[in-house]
Amino acid sequence: MSKKNRIVTVTMNPAIDLACTVSDFTAGKVNRVESYQTDAAGKGVNIAVLLRKFGLPVTVTGFLGQDNAGIFEKMFREQGLEDWFVRVPGETRIGIKVLDPRTETTTDINFPGLAPDMGHVEELTAAIEKLAAEASIVVIGGSLPATVGPETVGELVTVIREQGAKPVVDTSGPALRSAVDSVPWLIKPNDDELAELVGRPLKTISEIARESWRMNRSGIANVVISLGARGALFVNDEEELFATPPEIEPVSTVGAGDAMIGGLVAGTALGLSFRERVRLATALSAATVAQAAPSLENLDRARKLEDRVTIETISL
C-alpha cells in the first residue's frame, strides 16, 4: 500500500478574519460593535478545515507571522491539522469585515501582508517537496505576499508533480498564469479570473466551455469554472458537465470557492466518480453560501442538498 494518502494545502498569504456587526456603520464617526468573531483563515486553511470533516489526513503549510501565530496554532490543534507553516518575522495580516445589518452592506479593511524573503520561499519549497512525496494532492490556495513573485506558483506546481502528487491551484492574475503554464492537475478560476487569464471577455457559457476544453486538452486534467449562483462548469478528459446548485437563501458567499475545491479534492481522495465529485462540490459550496461563516461546521446541510444538484452534459 502506498503511503501517499495525505493531502497538503499551501496558504502563502493567510489572514486573521475579524468580522464585526455595526448597525448604520458610518465613516468619520464613532461606530459601536454589537458582536464580533475572529477566525484563522486563508484559502488553503479553509480548504484544509473542510477536508478534516471527511476524516482525511491533512497537513497545512505556507507562511505565518511569528508574532501572532497563536490563533492559527490553536485552530490547527482543534481541527487535527498537521502544522508545517514556515514562520516569518512580523504579524499575519488582519482583514476586518464590517457587516451592517441595516443597510445589508459589508465594508472590508485589509491590512498589508507578511514580507517573506527568498530564504523563506526556499524553506517553503523544500517543505512542499518533502510533503508532496508523501501526499496524493497538494492544493495551493489564495494570493501571494507582495514580496513573492508569481513564478513561484509555477515552480511549486512542477515540484509537486515531480514528487508524484497532484497539484491543485486556486489563485488569480499572474500567479494563475504561471500555474497554468506548469500544467497543474486541477484549476478552478471563476469567470472573471478565466477572462483575465485568456485576456478577453468571455460572454457565453459556450465560449467559457470552449476555453475550458482547450485548457484541458493542453494537459490540465480538471478544469472547473465557477459561475457564482449559476453553478459551475467541469471539464475532464472524458466529460463536460454543468452543475446547477439548488436554490438556497444566500447569506454570505465568502468561502464558496474554497468549499468547491474542498469537495473536489475530498471526492478524489475518497475515490468518487467525476459526477459524484461534481455533485458533492456543488452541494458543499451551496451549503457554505447558505450560512454566515466561511467554512462548514459539519457536512449535514450539504448532504441534504446533494440530491437537489442538477448535472447536465454540455456539448461544445
Ligand X SMILES: Nc1ncnc2c1ncn2[C@@H]1O[C@H](COP(=O)(O)OP(=O)(O)OP(=O)(O)O)[C@@H](O)[C@H]1O
Contact residues for ligand X (CB under 6 A)?
A: 190, 226-229, 231-232, 245, 248, 250, 253, 255-258, 260, 282, 285-286, 289
The least CB distance from residue 278 to ligand X, in Å, is: 10
Catalytic residue of the set 192, 237, 258, 300: 258
257 binds Mg ion (CB under 5 A): yes
Residue 17 interacts with, from Mg ion, ligand X, none (CB under 5-8 Å by kind): none
Would you say 159 or 197 has its CB closer to ligand X?
197
d(C-alpha 274, C-alpha 290), whole Å:
25
The least CB distance from residue 247 to Mg ion, in Å, is: 21
What type of residue sits at position 77? Answer: R
Would you say 86 or 281 has its CB closer to Mg ion?
281
The least CB distance from residue 1 to ligand X, in Å, is: 34
Q: How far apart are the first and last CA of the chain?
A: 40
The least CB distance from residue 123 to ligand X, in Å, is: 27
Would you say 92 or 226 has its CB closer to ligand X?
226
- Has 258 been annotated as catalytic? yes
Residue 15 interacts with, from ligand X, Mg ion, none (CB under 5-8 Å by kind): none
Task: Give the residue numbers marked as catalytic.
Answer: 258
Q: What does the binding site for Mg ion look like in residue numbers (CB under 5 A)? A: 257
